[in-house]
Structure 1
Amino acid sequence: MGKALQTRVTAVVLAIVTLLVCALGIANFLQESSYEAPTDGVWWIEGTGGLLAERVPANSPAHRAGVREGDLLVTANKRNTLAAPALQREMGHTGTWGHINYSLMRGKAPLEVPVILEPTDRSRNQGLRLIALAYLAIGMYVLLRRWTAPKAMHFYVFCLVSGVLYSFRYTGVFDTLDWICYWGVLAAGALQPALFLHFAVSFGDMTQSLRRKALVALIYIPGAVEFGLQIEAITRWSATERLKHRLDQIGVGYLALYYVIAAVVFWFRYRASDKPLERQQLKWLTRGTQLSVIPFTALYAIPYLADADVPVALARAAGFALIFLPLTFAWAIVRYRLMDTDLIFKRGVTYTLATAALIGVYFGVVALSAEVVHTRLPSLRIWGLLAGIIATALIFEPIKAAIQARVDRLFDRKRYDYRETLIEFSRGLSSQTDLPTLSRSIVERLSQTLLVSRVAVFVASDDGTGRDFSLAASHGLPDNILVDLPTQTSRDSFLNFGLLSQDHIFFENPQQLLHLEPAEQRMASLLDLNYYLPCRVSRQGHASRTIAVIGLGRTQEGDFLSSEDMELLSSLAGYIGIAIQNAQLFSRLEQQITEFERLKEFNENIVESIKVGIFTLDLNNAVESWNAEMEVMYALPRADAIGRNVAELFPSTFLEPFFEAHNQPGTHHLSKVRLDLRTGESRTANIAIAPLLTRDFVSVGSIVMMEDITDRTRLEGQLTQAEKLSSIGLLAAGVAHEVNTPLAVISSYAQMLQKHTRDDLRLAPILEKITQQTFRASEIVNGLLNFSRTSSTVFASLDLNAVLRETLTLIDHQLRTARVTVDADLQATLPRIYGSQGKLQQVILNLLLNAKDAMNDGAGGTIRLVTYDNGNDVTLRISDTGSGIDPEHLHRIYDPFFTTKNAPRQGQHKGTGLGLSVSYGIVQEHNGRIAVESTVGVGTTFTLDFPIEPSPKDDPSAQREPSKSQAIDPIEARTVNA
């Protein structure tokens, strides 16, 4: 729990306890008013055979009946009275103004004395309740006005306990309320002296050492022992009047002893204090304590301990002197300024009379309102009186404040105006942060307040040395003074107060300062100022330094400033120094903020401009930042990402490897992680995860960088495919040359044998099959040679639509035979491409024949041809409605010798598995891209992209050679298009 919160909770608890004490006090007062306890006026103590009359005051009921000191009371109303409680019970049964018959023994002679009992005199209780009200009122005032002041809370607890001690009185009824009041008085009597001494020991000392805490604990031990004796007497010991008297003597002695010790402590601390304000407070505490303790101890405590007789009036006056304690304590804690304290002694009788008149008016109004309530509304009784008093106090408060202000202004007008000026000026200084404006405000306010003709403010350079001063603002100085005056003072200038302890410099005649250097004489003469006051500021652990100097001339009437004026200026100099320092700090802070914002904007621009997705997470994995590249890459706006948990943004396929790396300490890299977008697309990214650390290397989150490598992966796949095909081509070339010769020999001999055995029905079919297979093997070998052979085909400018139409005419008959319909949607103004017409026809022909074979089930189908310009490329899409390609075959369709036509249907030929491989190589040779999309039972779509022919000013050679780095892996293309 914070200290401020703890203080507030304590204040609330004390307020509740205060209300409870007030309620119990009022109930106790009402009960005492309604019950009259009978008494005979004698102090009886237990003796042998009865009660012995220790004291019989004159004019008491027993004295008037004939009872004298030394008489032994044997019976009362014929009941034995061996103990004081028995007599008290009999008096209670008899009641006030009743007759009680005493059987006495005076010496050896028996006496019968009838006594008329009278009500117990409780006027002393009302005086004590008045003291209790004073304690509570003053304590409440201090708590409400300055409850955060040092020792204010302690002082209020002391006042509250004192209120219980002086207001609670047991009436003799001894019901629940009476017992509460009885134990409350005992507890308060044990606690109040210890609180007082504790306050005296710790006043002004903020240290909380173990030794001091132990000393404070020892202070409360005697009170605890005294309270324990009271409990022991009630619960175990015999309830005699002598025991009660001894316990009361212990309580009074304990109270007086602690008060005297506290007075001595205050006096020694007052003598030892070197702080002016604290010394003034201790002076009031010492005098107030002595004024209370000396009469109480000398006139009440000591005689009571000695069983000596003291006049009732004198004893009551001694008790009433205790009211000076809360008055002096309140005066010290509220901490009035010392000049106001001295003012009371200076203005003395006049101020006191005015204040007394004000209090008299107040109590007169209270009495008048009470009388009106008592006369007009008698049914309200005591509650109406209390309501009238409270209402009068509330109404009279603003009137009292206005009268008090006028009295202050009347008795000490100049100081009052100065005090108001100081408060108003300090408020204005704290609200201004612009140094030039602040400087102008200072000189204008000083000239208006002090009525001086010339004012100037010199501000120290903002380099931390405080040695060079420049004129910041002035009033009454010539307009051309800045031309003649140096912009900065020398380091030996009289304005450099340095570490000197002097409060100000006074020049009676600034025109004749022979002790200064010539340059300083000239400056002082130009300024023509008589007073120079340093504005010093202190820093913790460093000596104070002069941050500014205020220069002032004479008044407008030609007089010098008074000592009171200089006191005010000395007070203001500290405020002005702090205000100027705050303005300089604010100016530097603004510069630093501007620089910080510039650096922050620069760093943010770097993060926003970098082509890598970056986002940061806090310790709870919530997104704190999300750069522009992440918005593009993940297709999610920044506003929808920030503040949400990373688990809500990314799919589970991404989160599993991410958290596995993120939960491990250190920096981690994840390569080629698949990232499924919210739009249904799929990307490939490299991810780096690193902890986000402060300057103190404390982790506050993590930073994640995501690099989209989808295109790079596609290019790598195409490069891998190209390298694989290149290797296969080299192998195929060697195999083809070796296989061609034996195939030619086998084919020749088979044909020769076929001619000789033409009529042999058994051998002729066999030789025919051998011949066909040799032709097929030769066709495969020629395909391998074409696949591996480096072409020297000449590239030229082509119209892809024209190449497509010419190719369609070559297979038009086959398509009609297969009942295949061609749907062509060709862009009319298609840009030209750069390539080989024959090789492009070969590619288109292979794709069209494959599409026809995929639909050769007798029912026919549709081939859709689409060409269009997509900006940088010319695109050709060939779609069919055939059987489609199985997903497990898609990644192998460009591999040499891979074919699904091992068991061709009627009208198809058995495939060699080289058509798509050769087509892939031709597309690469043209710097193009080929991609496939296929769904089983729906159809297949091949997409071919060829770069647009460059303009004549560009070098066409850059487009003629195929670039493997631009190729796209068909497998990755299929993944993206899916």
Structure 2
Amino acid sequence: MKNGFQTRILAIALALATLAACVLAGVNLQHENHFDVPTDGISWIEAPGGLRAQRVPAESPGYRAGIRTGDILVAINDRPTNRLAPLVREMFRSGIWSHATYSIQRPVPNSIDLKGSARLDIQVILVPQDRSSNQWLRFIALVYLAIGIYVLFRRWTAPKSTHFYVFCLVSFVLYSFKYTTEFDTFDQVIYWCNIIAEALQPALFVHFAVSFSDVFASNRPNKLKRRLLSTIIYTPAVCLIALQYSAIQFWSATEMLRHRLDQIAVAYLAIYYVIAAIVFRFRYQRAESGLERQQLKWLTRGTLLTITPFTLLYVIPYLYFSGTSVPSLLTKIAGLSLIFLPLTFSWAIVRYRLMDVDLIFKRGVTYTLATASLVGLYFVVVAVTAEMVRARLPSLHVWGLLAAIIFTGILFEPLKKAIQGRVDRLFDQKRFDYRETLVEFGRGLNSQTDLRALLDSIVERLPQTLLVTRVAVFLATEPNRSPGNPNFELAASHGLTNLQADDLQTLDVRFLDFDRPGANSHIFLETPQQVLRLPEAQRSSARNLDLNYYLPCRVANREGSGTRTVAIIGLGRTDDGDFLSSEDMELLESLAGYIGIAIQNAQLYQRLEQKIGEFERLKEFHENIVESINVGVFAVDLEDRIESWNTQMESMYSKSRKEVLRQPVSAVFPADFVARFNSVREEQGTHTLYKFRLALPDGNVRTANIAIAPLVTRDFIAVGRIILVDDITDRIQLEAQLTQSEKLSSIGLLAAGVAHEVNTPLAVISSYTQMLTKHMRGDERLAPVLEKITQQTFRASEIVNGLLNFSRTSGAEFTSIDLNELLRDTLTLLDHQFKTAQIRTETNLDPQLARIHGNQGKLQQVILNLMLNAKDAMFGMSNATLKIATFNSSGSVFVRIQDSGGGIEREHLHRIYDPFFTTKTRPQEGEHKGTGLGLAVSYGIIQEHAGKIHVESERGVGTAFQLEFPASGSRSAISAETYTNGRRDAERKTIHV
């Protein structure tokens, strides 16, 4: 708070002081323009007897009147002039352009007194005093003030900038305040301000030189030493002011006293300037910081450039030739040198760039050589032209000279460029070659498309070209970031060996905001270790990076006008600890544009590669989906030529992709499909051909749902049609089986009603049969028959109960069963019927047949039903044969029952397991009428045993039923207790051949 208050007070004080100085200078100039001072042009000095003419310039009024050097002025207008003051009063009393009578005593030559001198009365016309030198000094004052204000506003926080501004303001007062000799109150203020400024300016300059390097010193002098040193520096200034005051108040006002005081002031000024130059030189030799060395190099050269001509051309003549005044031309040249001091000092404070001094020197040499060459060429051309005109074309002498002037003017620019190139190569051949290499590098940047290689090339070339020790490239991480919140990350670097991985993660470079309105073309940090205007995190990052220059790489916005920053290049000092020149910065700023475009192109190329990779992966993913989907997919163009053909179509249609691509639809598919395909050509939307029977090239016919949809682009422009072929043949078979299962479930309703009705007569038959058996136990002929009737009665009861249990999906006792034994028992049971029907049986039973897990009664019911169906199918045929075989295969047990009957009609194959479906509606003699429940019940029993039933039938050849059961102990065996309806429905499958 205290520092902020002091800063505001200082700013207000400087502003008021500047305003007051400018107002007083303006009023002083106005008074001077309206107040003419009469003069005779002669320098008078007190001497015995009057005033002696010390210097009488030629063409002055006194010289034209006849006054010469050494004459003694005794009186003017009959008023004695023993001092200069009476002379001045009489001249003002006479006024300008008036005649004043000068009483002159002209000493005899080689005489040391006025004895024998002649007295002359000379009429002198007084003229206005020439004060043009005051205007020249005022121009110098304006330069000082303008430079001071520029430095103050541009580098307010720079070290010693305020001190430098005070020095410039005091210099402005010194060179612009000129009293008019009217010596009124205002003139006295101007006079004393000039006296004070004359005393303070050299002291301020020496103080600036002594304290300039305190900001770099590790052990700064304490306050007591600084105050003591300041007291010593400003003591002569106070003494000089006191001397001037004493001379006016207490001493006799003579011209000799005024001249001596002026000599003291000039000597004081020169001595202090020399002391400042010595201090700058001494500090420069002992400076350790690169920044300090550069600044002191500027200050030393600027001081020497100012003090040398000023001392040689003005101070020494004024001090050692006190009897004569310094010629006006030398005064102007010495005053001109004063301009170099604020120029070089301001440049040192604002820029701090070492190489700009060399650059100015080189350009000065260039223009000097170019000008000298031009002048020489001009005079040569003029001389040659004059000779030619004089000798041959005397009438064109004026036009010839004009042509020579125009010709030499045209030659100046290429001559300057040629000399500039030679001087550049002469002074800095190595850096010149490097810059040419850098320019070529910038031109070839756009040929690099790999971002990493591009960044590595940048951080490799820049140190080689500019000889800097540290280079970093920051890339923008958010393309759409808002101004004021930049987000950059370090992408490549050279020489940043002090940064660890943790430091890179914590870098905060938000101060690199070049997209905000009014942002500069680059950022320069003279001391990255002490950037006080930044927050602590950003200050720490700037300190760790230790980079002095940050240049934005800008490119045009993709949308709208303006530019955006895609990267930032950071650079440090050179190998010698120096800073870059403005020429280097101009080159880098131009190169940054090429680098920005190259980085943008590399990023775009990188994103394009990523997009291509993503597109390829997406395309492959979509192709995998199309290829993996269990639906045939193919597309046709507007000319109905096939453009795509997936794997499912290859498998289903038995044609490879190579065979069908670019072929018309009519050449690949059958005519009925082509007709239906063309019929929906002009209709909009998607069309589906339900359960279309598609003939395949191999002769098979498959049932499919075919969807035909338009193939359009993102702009909804039709480019063809896409066809999806969903083969539902197997699904239809499963649906048929599901329907069959649903039909079987209706048996439960029937079984519940007939179970009691059937069991009652069976119970009666069984009871009477058992009674007859007891009575006829001794009858060997009838007793076996009655026993078989009893067994079949129980068997019939079991069948009815089994039908009821099957319909209820109830459990039953499952045991280990030998199918071979079961088949033999069944054949024994039907042996009489087969012999009566003249049917021959052939058996091929595998002796190693595995046992199965099941219910013996239910399985015997299935086998008995199949054998009876076979008997009925072969009734009345010659050579009727029933073949029964068993075998093992892949953990399963198979039973095959094949007859040589008439076979089953093909259209009936899918209905043979339907309840109550039968073809025995009109049985022949010896046959019985079918109920349509045999195969339906058998199908349910097989499903309950986790088995499968397959049928093969050909009209006129015969029918074969094949039963498949899981062997005992295999993973596919399922117990009755764990068997569910869902599992049964899922595994139910019938194969029709």
Normalising by the smaller structure, the TM-score range is: 0.3 to 0.5
Give the TM-score normalised by the residue count of structure 2.
0.44
Normalising by structure 1, report the TM-score: 0.44
